[in-house]
Amino acid sequence: MTKIIGLTGGIGSGKTTIANYFESFGVPVYIADDEARKIMQTSEIIGAIKKVFGDAIFENEKLNREELAKIVFSNPEKLEKLNNIVHPAVKKHFDQWLLLHKKNPYAIYEAAILFESGGYKNCDLIITVTAPIESRIQRVVERDKTTRELVLKRINAQWTDEQRISKSDFIIENTSLETTKLEVVKILKILKIKQNVL
């Protein structure tokens, strides 16, 4: 049976870069945030979001993700409501995806809010990625064309590094691409040893 390796870290920590490294070594990778984005465009989920958040966050029937982010990252209750709509759909999609990779000894499940969503309970091992806070803010501002204030709101809506680390099996400090890649290689060697034990 395929073992699920959870990969998480705060926004802008470089999870996707690390996920890509694992993929380059032949490990199947599921990027939960990317899949959630696609799932949020399905008529079923759009209907559920409209029911909770109204029509104001839609433009020509298209979800305005920025407006939705402003609402949910300022209001923990509304964030929870959104998560309750999206997370079960992502879980169902992931379970189907996993069936396609059942011959692999392990697969990576990459999710920013792995702990907050309870997704960590389905993982056999967990890797947390950390990076200096200023580097994270800068990455997200450039990547999402957003503001420092909005990035900080999103960071504050997530668990802290300390909280994540306390529940993780491996920690990758993403300070340089070279050392990060070496960390991935090291983890893969350990996973190979653990393969018969897990």
Q: Is 14 annotated as a binding residue?
A: yes
Q: Is 74 annotated as a binding residue?
A: no
* 83 vs 48: CA distance, rounded Å: 11
Dig out the tokens for 81 from the structure.
């409501």
Q: Is 6 annotated as a binding residue?
A: no
Q: Is 15 annotated as a binding residue?
A: yes
Contact criterion met (CB below 8 Å) for 112 and 11: yes
- Amino acid in position 25: F
Q: Is 12 annotated as a binding residue?
A: yes
Burial level of 112, CB count in 10 A (0-12/13-18/19+)? buried
Q: For the chain, first and last CA: distance in Å?
A: 10
Contact criterion met (CB below 8 Å) for 10 and 155: yes
Q: Is 180 annotated as a binding residue?
A: no
- Residue of 127, 114, 136 lying closest to 11 (CA atoms): 136
* 3 vs 96: CA distance, rounded Å: 15
Binding residues for ATP: 12-17
Q: Which residues are annotated as a binding site?
A: 12-17
